Amino acid sequence: MALSLEDILAGCRRGQSGAQRALYQHLAYPLMGVCLRYCPSRAEAEDALQNAFIKIFTNLHQFNDKGPFEAWARRIAVTTAINAYHQRQQRGPHVEYDDAPEVAHPDGTPLEQLSADDLMRVLHTLPLGYRTVLNLYAVEGYSHAEIAEMLGISEGTSKSQLARARRLLESKLSLPTPSRLATK
Q: What is the CATH number of the domain that holds 160?
A: 1.10.10.10
pLDDT, mean of residues 132-151: 85
* CA pair distance 143, 159, nearest whole angstrom: 10
* Whether residue 66 is found in the same domain as residue 88: yes
* Number of compact structural domains in the chain: 2
Give the residue among 155, 158, 154, 156 at the shortest CA–CA distance from 166: 158
Low-confidence winner among 27-31, 95-99, 130-134 (lowest mean pLDDT): 95-99
- pLDDT over threshold 90, residue 32: yes
**Cα distances (Å, whole numbers) of residue 125 to 26, 145, 163:** 30, 25, 16
CB 53 within 8 A of CB 24: yes
* Whether residue 1 is found in the same domain as residue 90: yes
Low-confidence winner among 20-24, 33-37, 64-68, 178-182 (lowest mean pLDDT): 178-182
Q: How many CB atoms lie within 10 A of CB 173?
A: 15
* Whether residue 132 is found in the same domain as residue 86: no
Angle among Cα 36, 41, 42 to the nearest 5 degrees reads: 65
> pLDDT class for 42, splitting at 50, 70, 90?
confident
Q: What is the pLDDT of residue 53?
A: 93
* Whether residue 90 is found in the same domain as residue 48: yes
- Per-residue burial over 119-142, b = 16 or more CB atoms within 10 Å of its CB, e = otherwise: eeebbbbbbbbbbbbbbbbeebeb
Mean pLDDT estimate for the chain: 78
Low-confidence winner among 26-35, 58-67, 103-112 (lowest mean pLDDT): 103-112
Among 94, 113, 139, identify where a domain stops.
Answer: 94
Q: Domain span at residue 64?
A: 1-94
Q: What is the pLDDT of residue 106?
A: 45
- Of residues 134 and 85, which shows the higher confidence score? 134
